[in-house]
Amino acid sequence: MKCKRGAFFILYLILLVFAFGALDIMFWLNGQGKIQGALVNPGEVLKVSHSYDLFELREKVLIFESLNSVDGSYVFGTEEFTNSFREILIQKTSTDSLMNDFILEGIAIEGKPLDSVPDNLFESRLYSEDSFVLDNGNLLFSRGSIGKEIILPSGSLKKISFPVRASFEYSSDYSVTSDGINYFLEVL
């Protein structure tokens, strides 16, 4: 006759699994009505994403308006044209309400929120002189990296909630070409 301890051990394991499963279900049922937790609302992230899309569309419109506003005596592809275009773009961007609202609300540079906005933010950070380059008749420029920081609250203050801080960094590179009559903008 062989040892039958192995058969009893399997029965013991099956009973132990059922007991822990029942205990887990009992704790879950008991806590259903007592624990209140609130999830973070992702609506704020969607609002920022939508605002960013509007911001980029408005920026492209301002780029075309700035290109068309450059003095006709400057030839596309020259330093004078580039400098004049940059100045007009900075002026239009800094005075546009949609652009200002998006850029300045919750501004963060290099991941750190700012309490006050630098005076020369548009000239030195967004559209710096170094970021405008002429390359084989193309005007290449970029919008400098700048960010937003928002706090995502939960839906209810009465429930257990942990606010989540979200940071966004955004920048863009552009290429402008011309056929002598029209300007063509490409996002790189």
pLDDT digits (tens, 9 = 90+) for 74-133: 777 778 888 888 888 888 887 877 777 777 776 766 656 666 666 777 777 777 778 788
**So what's the pLDDT on residue 58?**
84
Q: Is residue 26 part of a domain?
A: no
Alpha carbon distance 88, 66 (integer Å): 6
Classify each residue of 48-59 as buried b or exposed e, where b means 16 or more C-beta atoms within 10 Å of its C-beta: beeeeeebeebb
Q: Is residue 14 part of a domain?
A: no
Q: Which residue has the higher pLDDT, 24 or 43?
A: 24
Task: Print the domain residue range for 108.
Answer: 40-187
Based on the structure, what is the number of domains in the chain? 1
